[in-house]
């Protein structure tokens, strides 16, 4: 256990109890953290399916709260955003006033294209300031943005365009990876060829690294903005949708997580102080991407709601140019709190295990390091503790919640941390562990991690266009509780350990991916009869996907060629981030008698762990086949990776 400060936990416990026993009083107090056009009278209401709705009669606008309000309060000249892009060799600073003005003008430009309150806008952009400006501009108009991560391929973009039916698509001409430029415009064009829905217009931000060819219906960002009048913030209801962010579920179709304006703004403003211990004027650096929830919450919205400076980094933890990149940024921008995924530090540790790069920088400004996106594995936790000699905070959350469910509350009452634990539930979240019968599990017993209703403000309000899926996926399994999809346990001291997904979602380098989606790609190949995709352990990325396929009877092609073709198809359809580590052609897959593929067993075999042959298995001989294939190929690779 790491004790960086003695604590009685009293302040945390008081706060936590109040949030659970008197949620309305607690959240009414927190609501005063943000500016409202109309302060809510009703703090908590319930919809017909008994889902919580926060601040239902409040009116505000998150763009106003994060930008205009600060300018009006005298923070106009303070730096709002620091952009640092080693991949393009550029840097930029924007004050609150500049951000507000650029956002107001771009909102005017979107309005000229017909975008109004409630319309959707899809944003497909890399880590450039304009991505934030586009998001805030949508919020300003009351339009609903849906940002798609730049690493997703055309097909994934098309699926999201069809689901969100945007009036406008905004993209950059390219993204820049470590050693390659990725032209985005051809990806957008390909997506629009595949999608049924067609937007009225596309807006393209031209980047010097690769200019896009524009066609009819395309507008260049700056020319469009040059003709626009600034637009004022539209007053929206607290419960009006701010964005739809797609995340992987257990089926091939991603879930459009819907977030509202008011509850989200209140929760983020609260978390900046209570979880992250940030005060106005301080610098927050979250090394994620605007395409992920961490980017939405802690690059774009939360730091500015709190009057802080946000660092927008277009680069990698390593290779841009080296494993000292994060330390350089922390020193250069005087970062107080830094947030990234454990996988990023595993990449740094691999290249610089002794921390020689760190020794070249003065990072005395850094008070706390926060990690999330996957469980902070104990070896990385210990390595970071030793290297940094300051609090290393693992905290747990998901796209659906939008802000941390469990954390060490650095702004209220820091407590000693434990390796492998995300510490305690954050005020607002009544976290329980249930066994399969819905009974509460005792200390140290693993079960489903659930959250008792009401979920606090800021959490998803529904699945876009699919309230039934929302209810079924999250609320129906244990009535009265939200199902997180994670398994875990509390220890005797109340520390929460979140151990991994209980469904078919995997976590690759901090990216959440659906094995079901990859299986759809493999299964669509004419030579494939059956398939399974599993996530196996990987020393750098946490997990990597491996596919197992049974060819159709009569298949007499080259197996190696088929394996490579399938790998390529997954990259093409989903994107590079979903690259299958290995595809193995096998003759049988282990199944239960009812025909369900025993994926957990496959994972256990692939990870090289001991396994027992389950009594429900239909064809025990299939295990030997799979075992031998994996030993020969995937396991060998995984073992090499583990030793890297
Ligand atoms: N646009 C286009 N392509 C992208 C992309 C983007 N924004 N991000 C990743 N890709 C591509 C990469 O170019 C790579 O393609 P390749 O296989 O053809 O070379 C592929 O997707 C895999 O990329 P990545 O997952 O980044 O692997 P990597 O080996 O290049 O880097 C890490 C490994 C650990 C350094 C990297 O994954 C990382 O920084 N992870 C942190 C993730 C994170 O912050 N997640 C947020 C959750 S909090
Ligand atoms: P995402 O929605 O992409 O943020 O992924 C959420 C999932 O990542 C969670 O359901 C967990 O499985 C995993 N996760 C994120 N942070 C943590 C953490 N600190 N500890 C354990 N698992 C985590």
Ligand 1 atom closest to residue 294's alpha carbon, by position in its atom list: 48
Q: What is the pLDDT of residue 525?
A: 95
Q: What is the DSSP letter of 301?
A: I
Q: Which residue has the tokens 């210990």?
A: 382
Nearest CA residue ID for atom 5, ligand 1:
151
Which domains are assigned to the chain? 509-643 (3.30.300.30)
% pLDDT > 90, the chain: 85
Please classify residue 544 by burial: count the beta carbons closer than 10 Å to its beta carbon, then call 0-12 exposed, 13-18 middle and 19+ buried: buried
Nearest CA residue ID for atom 7, ligand 2:
398
Hey, is 203 helix, strand or coil? Answer: strand
Query: Which residues does a 6 A CB cutoff place in the pocket of ligand 2?
Result: 247, 293, 372-375, 394-399, 422, 484-486, 498, 501, 507, 512
Q: What is the pLDDT of residue 3?
A: 46
Ligand 1 atom closest to residue 182's alpha carbon, by position in its atom list: 2
Assess whether pLDDT exceeds 80 at residue 53.
yes
Residue 497 CA to residue 489 CA, distance in Å, equals: 5
pLDDT in tens, 380-398: 999 999 999 999 999 999 9
pLDDT in tens, 143-164: 999 999 999 999 999 999 999 9
Ligand 2 atom closest to residue 400's alpha carbon, by position in its atom list: 2
The H-or-E segment that residue 382 falls in is: helix 378-388
Give, in order, the Cα–Cα distances in Å from 181 to each of 210, 488, 498.
8, 41, 37
Within 33-153, residue ranges assigned H as helices are 62-63, 69-70, 96-112, 129-141
Please report how many Cα atoms fall inside a 13 Å half-sphere around the Cα of residue 348, on the Cβ side: 24
Q: How confident is the model at residue 637 (pLDDT cuts 50, 70, 90)?
A: low
CB 577 within 8 A of CB 513: yes
pLDDT in tens, 319-361: 999 999 999 999 999 999 999 999 999 999 999 999 999 999 9
Other beta carbons less than 10 A from residue 639's beta carbon = 14
Residue of 343, 474, 486, 510 best suited for mutating to test ligand 2, as the one with most atoms within 8 Å of CB: 486
Please give the mean pLDDT across all residues of the chain.
Answer: 93
Distance from residue 578's CA to the centre of ligand 1 (Å): 10
Q: How confident is the model at residue 622 (pLDDT cuts 50, 70, 90)?
A: confident
Distance from residue 152's CA to the centre of ligand 1 (Å): 11
Nearest CA residue ID for atom 19, ligand 1:
576
| Pick from 300, 479, 313, 304: nearest CA to 402 | 300
Residue 371 pairs in a beta bridge with 340, 394
Distance from residue 76's CA to the centre of ligand 1 (Å): 35
Assess whether pLDDT exceeds 70 at residue 633.
no
Other beta carbons less than 10 A from residue 442's beta carbon = 12
Ligand 1 atom closest to residue 126's alpha carbon, by position in its atom list: 7
Residue 497 pairs in a beta bridge with 489
Q: How confident is the model at residue 101 (pLDDT cuts 50, 70, 90)?
A: very high
Query: Which residues does a 6 A CB cutoff place in the pocket of ligand 1?
Result: 126, 150-151, 175, 177, 182, 287-288, 292, 294, 316-318, 340-341, 343-344, 347, 372-373, 509-510, 576-577, 579
Nearest CA residue ID for atom 1, ligand 1:
151
CB 326 within 8 A of CB 340: yes
Nearest ligand (C-alpha, residue 128): 1
Residue 540 CA to residue 615 CA, distance in Å, equals: 35
Residue 460 CA to residue 633 CA, distance in Å, equals: 41
Nearest CA residue ID for atom 8, ligand 1:
151
Residue 602 CA to residue 582 CA, distance in Å, equals: 14
Residue 440 pairs in a beta bridge with 434
CB 325 within 8 A of CB 86: yes
Buried b / exposed e across 468-506, counting CB within 10 Å, b at 16+? ebbeebbbebbeebbbbbbbbbbeeeebbbbebbbbbbb
Within 250-337, residue ranges assigned H as helices are 262-274, 293-295, 302-305, 325-333
Q: How confident is the model at residue 181 (pLDDT cuts 50, 70, 90)?
A: very high
C-alpha gyration radius of the chain: 24
CB 290 within 8 A of CB 127: yes
Higher-confidence position of 553 and 637: 553
Distance from residue 374's CA to the centre of ligand 2 (Å): 5
Q: What is the pLDDT of residue 644?
A: 45
């Amino acid at each position: 256990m790491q004790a960086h400060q003695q604590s009685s936990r009293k302040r945390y416990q008081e706060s936590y109890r109040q949030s659970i026993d008197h949620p309305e009083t607690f959240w009414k107090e927190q609501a005063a953290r943000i500016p409202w056009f109309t302060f809510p009278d009703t703090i908590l209401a319930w919809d017909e399916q008994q889902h919580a709705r926060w601040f239902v009669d409040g009116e505000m606008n998150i763009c106003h709260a994060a930008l205009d309000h600060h300018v009006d309060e005298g923070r106009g000249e303070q730096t709002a955003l620091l952009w640092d892009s080693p991949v393009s060799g550029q840097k930029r600073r924007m004050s609150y006033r500049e951000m507000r003005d650029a956002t107001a003008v771009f909102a005017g430009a979107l309005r000229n294209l017909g975008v109004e309150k409630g319309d959707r806008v899809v944003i497909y952009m890399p880590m450039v300031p304009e991505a934030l400006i586009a998001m805030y501009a949508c919020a300003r108009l009351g339009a609903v943005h849906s940002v798609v991560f730049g690493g997703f391929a055309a097909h994934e973009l098309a699926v999201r365009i069809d689901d969100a039916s945007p009036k406008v698509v905004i993209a950059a001409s390219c993204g820049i990876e470590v050693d390659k430029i990725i032209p985005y415009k051809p990806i957008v064009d390909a997506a629009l060829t595949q999608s049924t829905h067609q937007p009225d217009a596309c807006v393209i931000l031209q980047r010097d690294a690769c200019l896009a060819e524009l066609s009819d219906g395309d507008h260049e960002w700056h020319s469009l903005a040059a003709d626009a009048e600034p637009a004022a913030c539209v007053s929206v209801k607290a419960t009006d949708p701010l964005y739809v962010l797609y995340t992987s579920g257990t089926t091939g179709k991603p879930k459009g997580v819907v977030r509202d304006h008011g509850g989200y703004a209140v929760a983020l403003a609260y978390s900046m102080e209570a979880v992250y211990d940030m005060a106005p004027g301080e610098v927050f650096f979250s090394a994620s991407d605007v395409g992920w929830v961490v980017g939405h919450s802690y690059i774009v919205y939360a730091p500015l709601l709190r009057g802080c400076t946000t660092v927008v980094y277009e680069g990698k933890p390593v290779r841009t140019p080296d494993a000292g990149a994060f330390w350089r940024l922390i020193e250069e921008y005087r970062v107080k709190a830094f947030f990234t995924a454990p996988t990023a530090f595993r990449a740094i540790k691999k290249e610089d295990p002794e921390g020689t790069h760190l020794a070249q920088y003065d990072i005395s400004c850094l008070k706390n390091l926060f990690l999330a996106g996957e469980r902070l594995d104990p070896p990385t936790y210990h390595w970071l503790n030793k290297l940094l000699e300051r609090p290393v905070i693992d905290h747990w959350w998901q796209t659906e919640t939008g802000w941390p469910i469990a954390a060490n509350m650095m702004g209220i009452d820091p407590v000693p941390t434990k390796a492998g634990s995300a510490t305690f539930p954050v005020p607002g979240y009544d976290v329980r562990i249930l066994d399969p019968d819905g009974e509460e599990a005792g200390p140290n017993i693993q079960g489903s991690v659930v959250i008792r209703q009401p979920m606090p403000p800021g959490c998803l309000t529904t699945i876009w266009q699919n309230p039934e899926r929302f209810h079924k996926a999250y609320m129906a399994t244990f009535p009265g509780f939200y199902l997180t999809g994670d398994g875990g346990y509390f220890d005797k001291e109340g520390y929460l350990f979140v151990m991994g997904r209980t469904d078919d979602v995997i976590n690759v380098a901090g990216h959440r991916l659906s094995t079901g989606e990859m299986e759809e790609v493999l299964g669509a190949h004419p030579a494939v009869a059956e398939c399974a995709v599993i996530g196996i352990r990987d020393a750098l990325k946490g997990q990597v996907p491996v596919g197992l396929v049974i060819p159709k009877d009569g298949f007499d092609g080259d197996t190696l060629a088929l394996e490579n073709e399938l790998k390529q198809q997954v990259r093409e359809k989903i994107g590079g981030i979903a690259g299958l580590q290995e595809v193995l052609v096998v003759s049988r897959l282990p199944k239960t008698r009812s025909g369900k593929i025993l994926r957990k067993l496959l994972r256990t075999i692939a990870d090289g762990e001991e396994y027992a042959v389950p009594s429900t298995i239909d064809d025990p001989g299939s295990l030997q086949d799979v075992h031998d294939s994996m030993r020969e190929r995937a396991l060998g690779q995984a073992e090499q990776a583990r030793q890297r």
